[in-house]
Amino acid sequence: MAERQCYHCKQWIAEGEAHDCWTTTEAALTADLSEDLRDAWERLREAAGEFGEQRIYASHSSIMFSRKACYFFVRPKKSFLEICIFLGRPIRSPQIRRADRVSKGKVAHMLRVTHRDEVEAPLTDWLREAYESSDILKSKGQTTIPKKAIQAARKPARKAAKRTARKGTPAPRKSVRPRSRRTSKS
């Protein structure tokens, strides 16, 4: 009987056998979590479920929460839950490990949760904000930040760039007359 090897999971599959290595479930992703992480996961899912109508599904190694577009996802790890929240503005907080601009209007905020007690304000406030603004951020070209605010934020950066450029370039040289050769007196 002929077999083929799956490109993704490298498993050998018999000819004609159904195989879908990408399909995963929420239960499969959270099965190996410790008791503290499981409690944190259940509290996080419960808090997000209270926001309103949404779709919660597992994809690869993440559990996605979305309305029309994903507004946050969770990656269960061995010792923590990695959470990525999509907002229309950057947040500065000790809980935020990293914030990356992923599109014109979205900023992805990465944080970690290790205990149920961490799933409270301000985390739940950020999740609610992401839920409420996800439709606005999804639409093309729209941002939650007014255009004037973006331009005002760019002005100081441009001035600083000009100052740096001025400091980094050498001053123009003054014209120097060629020196005459000195001859030693003999």
b or e along 144-177 (b: 16 or more beta carbons within 10 Å of the residue's beta carbon)? eeeeeeeeeeeeeeeeeeeeeeeeeeeeeeeeee
What the block records as the tokens of 58 is 């597992």
Task: Please tell me the distance from the alpha carbon of residue 7 to that of residue 71, in angstroms, as a whole number.
Answer: 30
| Domain annotation covers residue 42 | yes
Domain count, the chain: 1
What the block records as the tokens of 45 is 């899912």
Question: Which of the four pLDDT bands, split at 50, 70 and 90, describes residue 69?
Answer: confident
| Domain annotation covers residue 154 | no
pLDDT of 5 higher than 90: no
For residue 88, what are the domain limits?
23-138
**In whole angstroms, how far apart are CA 138 and each of 85, 87, 97, 142?**
14, 11, 24, 8
pLDDT digits over 162-182, tens only? 655 666 555 555 555 555 566
| Domain annotation covers residue 62 | yes
What the block records as the tokens of 154 is 């760019």
What the block records as the tokens of 121 is 């304000």
pLDDT of 35 higher than 80: yes
Q: What is the pLDDT of residue 129?
A: 93
| C-alpha atoms less than 13 angstroms from C-alpha of 114 in its C-beta half-sphere | 3
CATH of the domain at 86: 3.30.1460
| Domain annotation covers residue 77 | yes
| Domain annotation covers residue 109 | yes
Task: Please tell me the distance from the alpha carbon of residue 118 to that of residue 128, in angstroms, as a whole number.
Answer: 16
The owner of tokens 């999804």 is 138
Q: Where are the alpha helices (DSSP H) in the chain?
A: 26-30, 35-49, 123-138, 147-168
Q: State the pTM of this model.
A: 0.64
| Domain annotation covers residue 52 | yes
Residue 96 burial by Cβ neighbours in a 10 Å radius (0-12, 13-18, 19+): middle
What the block records as the tokens of 161 is 């760039």
Q: Which of 143, 139, 144, 133 is nearest to 71 (CA)?
A: 133
| Domain annotation covers residue 53 | yes
| Domain annotation covers residue 105 | yes
Kindly state the percentage of the chain with pLDDT values over 90.
Answer: 45
